[in-house]
Amino acid sequence: MKKHHPLLKKCRLFAGIAQADLETLLGFLSAKHGRFDKDNFILTAGEKTGFAGIVLTGAAHIITDDYEGRRRIIRRIESGGMFAGSFSYAQVDVLPVSVIAVEETEVLFIDCTWIDSAYPSACAFHTGLIKNWIVLLAEEKIALLQKLEHVTRPTTREKLLSYLSEQARLNRESTFSIPFNREELAHYLAVERSGLSAELSKMQNDGLIRYRKNQFELLIVPYVHEAAAASPLPP
C-alpha cells in the first residue's frame, strides 16, 4: 500500500495527514485495494455498502440507467477523488447509483464507521478526518449543483454552452480539453448523442466554438478579463 501514499496525499480526505502516519491510518480505516478493468463495475446499484471508494489511478463514472436502458453520467471521479461516502454515512440501505471504471482503475475502499468512532487509536486523526470529510461533502454538493445548472437548461445548445463555459473557467483558458467523449458528454448532459453532435456542428458554424475531438475553443468568453490568452486550435 505504501506505493500509493503519494496518490493518497492528493485526496482531500487525507489532507494534513503526515506521510509517516498514513499506513497506521489505513489500518484504522480497514483499507482494502481493488483493481478494475475498463467498463467493469466497481459498485452496482442495489448493492449494500458501508464503505467509500477512493480512486488511486484511472477514472470512474457514477452512473444511473433508466428502465429503458438509457445511461446518465452523474459525475466523473479521477485520481484522488472519492465516491459512495455520502451514501455509506447516511446508511442508505441500497445504492441508487452504479460506479463503473472508464479505464483500468485502482480503488482504495475504506470503512465509514470511523466517523462515529470513539477508539483511542483514532484520536490523533479523527478531528482532521472529520474536517476533511465535511469539505469533501461540500465539494460534492457544489459539483452536483453545477451539473444541475447545465442539465436544467431548456435546449441542447444552452446545456453545452453552460458546460463549456464552466470548463473554460476551471481551466482559466478559452481553449481546453474536456474529460468526456461524445457519447459520455451526451450521457452527462442528458441529451441524445445525435442531437448533441448536430448542435456542436451548428455552434461551430455560428462562430460560438471550435472543436476537434475533446479539445474545444470557446469563442464567446464572458469572463475574458479573467481568462488567460489561449492558443487557437489547429485548422
What domains are defined for the chain?
A: 2-140 (2.60.120.10), 153-218 (1.10.10.10)
* CA distances (Å), origin 4, targets 9, 55, 189: 9, 11, 33
Nearest to 130 by CA among 95, 85, 92: 85
The pTM assigned to this predicted structure is 0.83
> Is 166 strand, coil or helix?
helix
**pLDDT for 67:** 79
What pLDDT is stored for residue 229 in this prediction?
42
Q: Across residues 36-63, what is the average pLDDT?
A: 92
Tell me what pLDDT residue 151 has: 95
pLDDT at 186: 96
Closest alpha carbon to 219 in 188, 199, 205, 198: 205
CA distance linking residue 154 with residue 73, whole number of Å: 18
* pLDDT for the residue 1: 64
- Residue 120 is classified by DSSP as G
Q: What is the pLDDT of residue 193?
A: 95
104-108, 128-132, 180-184, 211-215: least confidently modelled range: 128-132
Return d(Cα 132, Cα 46) in angstroms, integer.
28
Residue type, 94: V
Where does residue 162 fall: left (phi above 0), alpha (psi -120 to 50 degrees), or beta otherwise? alpha
Q: How confident is the model at residue 123 (pLDDT cuts 50, 70, 90)?
A: low
Q: What is the pLDDT of residue 176?
A: 95
Q: Nearest Cα to 184, choosing from 110, 100, 107, 122?
A: 100
- Exposure pattern of 192-224 as b/e (b: 16+ CB <10 Å)? eeeebeebbeebeeeebbbbeeeebbbeebeee
Q: Could you give the percent of the chain with pLDDT greater than 70?
A: 89
The residue assigned the cell 461533502 is: 137
Q: Which residue has the higher pLDDT, 124 or 3?
A: 3
Nearest-angstrom CA–CA distance, 63 and 100: 7
Mean pLDDT across the chain: 85
Per-residue burial over 4-33, b if 16 or more Cβ lie within 10 Å, else e, is beebbeebbbbeebeeeebeebbebbebee
- % of the chain exceeding 90 in pLDDT: 48
Give the number of residues written for the chain.
235
